[in-house]
Structure 1
């Protein structure tokens, strides 16, 4: 795919080619290791059990850049794989691991500043430590923001303990990328890959509703948040959410009295919905200025050729296509297109 337009993929994952034995480093289990088992292939192992088969495009920048060239992607926004969040761990250990991951992302950005933008990860289970690492990401490492989960050990994103992190992100001008993980209802979704197919969209909608109804967007109007996977189930269920607000404000409007539809336009989503008609609906609902290309590279549930669906939608205006491919991403990241010009 080559549209001739600047193309920025906001949703890509990366890991270092290796890291220390974390169980030995921290003294307890639950950690992920990367074990290569053949040319260009590796297993992600959790306590020695297979979590995911991965290829070298997860850690090899040369292969990643070659695939970007082939698909017409000029810039990737790099973030860790969500299983690495480690919110369950001791906060100081999660901080240490965050530092390892963030230093790696920063090294890739420094080596290829016109091709990569970096997002860090922070130990959200401890707001003070999370803010410390967020400040390091923004002020020392030159990253554009952070990636976080849709909840933190069961605390939804409206929880008071998390608000200081969002406040710091606003003050630092950090972009925030919300990616679902540890999906609700997993005990009922043991088959059919349902945690990824059903749980993730529900998790993302839950996180959006929590930030709306909890007043996070109301209290922090300058906070720039992008939700993965097209906002999950939220766009398709906004009518139901608004109706619930109207008919049972005693249950819904307990922390914020504003209509949830008023917050359409106050946050961003990526374009990863796999369906042109759904993307058209989202453009009507949210506006192209709130939707940014995201592919979930390099994983199979993502878009195989990033931006291909947008490029094939010949009913989109040139202005809309340019906005989806790069304009919205630049605004969310707080960056200028001039950074990426040779």
Structure 2
């Protein structure tokens, strides 16, 4: 089992080309103002220096590989920083954004194709372009795409996304669900609640939309990875099951108890608590949890393997999460 590569499925790349493309465009200032309100001034004061210190590791493949070596990580699945979503953009701009992001991510990963796999972007605000964006990502040699938990006015249960889910299933593309921004807005604008609470909330809401709406019934075999261990949903799935069992409105959209769908999804291991990680493995299955670090941000872990080891899983489960599951997902046709 020690020959299985260690694979980190939650690592980010920063794409200055994308930010240069959107600089000064109508809508950007408003989107940044919303992000500032959601985070609050104290968080923004910390975020600026934190990101600047990490830019080299997110842009220089040599520094990335050196950091991976130090962590004992053999392979990273690299996704664009969620700050590159730009779901405010009009259709023409959105097309330029996803094309440039896909191509730039592929170029970054080409520096070490045996160690770096990439994900592209999809303009969720324009569902009619989602399939085209996914196909473009795959044409660049990327493993799939990264999406947020929602777009303005749209949840992932929106029927307009059905062609996208169908195409992702048909191609075997990986879809990495990584929220950016929480619709609880200014209620979370202190103490970095925008991230520590907002991200798990958004993960739970997005996954609940996919489950309760029947998306996972209609598209079995979808390779969807939820960041941050799926947020609050896996540890509170009993409440969802109870609602599905006792209320006709809760049970109208999906065919099976919500907890059963956890074994159709994938989750990264980034939960920051060994007991929660053990519970995630219990409810989702050891074959559905993948190593994740959120490289190189401060809300991630510098030692993803050590964090996994702290959960004291059986050896077979440990090695499955360390890399066996991700290897099967990314490198098996």
TM exceeds 0.5?
A: yes
Number of residue pairs matched by the alignment: 317
1:287 to 263, 285, 288: 285
> CA offsets per residue over residues 291-332 of structure 1, 9 Å max, x none?
00000000000012122112344x422211110011221233
Determine the structure 1 residue equivalent to 2:253. Answer: 255
SS in 1 for 2:29: coil
TM-score (norm 2): 0.89
Classify 1:167/1:178 alpha carbon distance in 2 versus 1 (closer, same or farther; 3 Å). Answer: same
Moved over 4 A (4+): 17-20, 23-28, 49-52
TM-score (norm 1): 0.86
> CA offsets per residue over residues 103-142 of structure 1, 9 Å max, x none?
111112222111101110011222232211211211x211
Higher RCO by CA contacts (8 Å cutoff, separation 6 or greater): 2
| 8 Å contact kept, 2:125–2:154 | no
5+ residue gaps, structure 2, are: 33-43
Comparing both structures, which one devotes a greater share of its residues to helix?
A: 2
The answer to whether structure 1 residue 127 and structure 2 residue 124 are counterparts is: no
1:60 deviates by 1.2
SS in 2 for 1:6: coil
SS in 2 for 1:162: helix
**Of 167-176 and 18-27, the range deviating more from structure 2:** 18-27
Determine the structure 2 residue equivalent to 1:296. Answer: 294
1:19 deviates by 4.9
**Of 24-33 and 223-232, the range deviating more from structure 2:** 24-33
Aligned-CA RMSD value? 2.3
| Distance in 2 of aligned mates of 1:20 and 1:265 | 37
Determine the structure 2 residue equivalent to 1:137. Answer: 137
Determine the structure 2 residue equivalent to 1:210. Answer: 209
**Of 179-188 and 51-60, the range deviating more from structure 2:** 51-60
Classify 1:185/1:23 alpha carbon distance in 2 versus 1 (closer, same or farther; 3 Å). Answer: same
SS in 2 for 1:78: strand
SS in 2 for 1:111: coil
Determine the structure 1 residue equivalent to 2:188. Answer: 189
5+ residue gaps, structure 1, are: 34-45, 338-342
| 8 Å contact kept, 2:51–2:297 | no
The answer to whether structure 1 residue 68 and structure 2 residue 68 are counterparts is: yes
Comparing both structures, which one devotes a greater share of its residues to strand?
A: 1
Determine the structure 1 residue equivalent to 2:177. Answer: 178
| 8 Å contact kept, 2:234–2:262 | no
